[in-house]
Amino acid sequence: MSRMAHQIIEKTALDSADAPRVVLLGIPTRGTTLAERLAERIETFTGVRPPVGSLDITLYRDDLRGKPHRPLERTSVPSGGIDDALVVLVDDVLFSGRTVRSALDALRDLGRPRAVQLAVLVDRGHRELPLRADYVGKNVPTARTEDVSVQLVEHDGHDRVSISDGSGARRSDPEVDGSGARRSDPEEDGKDAR
């Protein structure tokens, strides 16, 4: 997460006087938590905390017929809205790109941002749409049939990225913890993942 926060600061010039207004919008549930963590890190590094909101995409999904209904989450847009802001969408896993496409559709109904960027903790590949993340915690190659699960302390009691095959057998990625840091990175070892 620290590396992603630094990348956002550098790419958006967030620490300069003429920086655009940056808004972090998390895609529920874990994307919203990750957006809060990013905002905390950015504030630690710059003294400026970007506003954080939550963007529910449930009604914009193209797969509602094939899956059980998900409960609606609350969309919350920070005061000041998103018009003319640089919006960073935050999600836990980037896979086919369909969630991001749904988020872009939902965003269009909320206003007109200056630009939209994407931050994800895990990019697992296998895109079905021509999308890519601007900020990635970790690229984790997977088979299409595998499932990637991100667990965060706020929801699951611990930070972990797990990959399971179709049979449900799980393996944790030894290189990633919930902070997006490599476990072998001495700067992050032993520190709180938030």
Query: What CATH code is assigned to 2-141?
Result: 3.40.50.2020
Q: What residue spans define the domains of the chain? A: 2-141
Angstrom CA distances, 184 to 124, 175, 187, 189, 190, stand at: 20, 7, 9, 7, 10
DSSP 3-state of 52: strand
CB 42 within 8 A of CB 48: yes
* Whether residue 86 has pLDDT greater than 50: yes
- pTM of the predicted protein model: 0.83
CB 127 within 8 A of CB 96: yes
Q: What is the mean pLDDT of residues 140-154?
A: 94
Closest CA to 103 of 121, 125, 88: 88
Tens-digit pLDDT profile for residues 7-22: 999 999 887 888 889 9
Residue 191 confidence (pLDDT): 39
Residue 71 confidence (pLDDT): 64
Most confident of 32-36, 141-145, 176-180: 32-36
Residue 159 confidence (pLDDT): 95
Q: What is the mean pLDDT of residues 25-44?
A: 97
Which helix or strand (DSSP H or E) is residue 172 part of?
Answer: strand 170-172
- Which of 172 and 34 is assigned the larger pLDDT? 34
Angstrom CA distances, 39 to 26, 33, 69, stand at: 11, 10, 31
State percent of the chain over pLDDT 90. 69
CB 161 within 8 A of CB 148: yes
Angstrom CA distances, 154 to 106, 129, 180, 191, stand at: 26, 31, 15, 16
Phi/psi of residue 169, each to 5°?
-65, 130
Q: How far, in Å, CA of 42 to CA of 98, rounded? A: 28
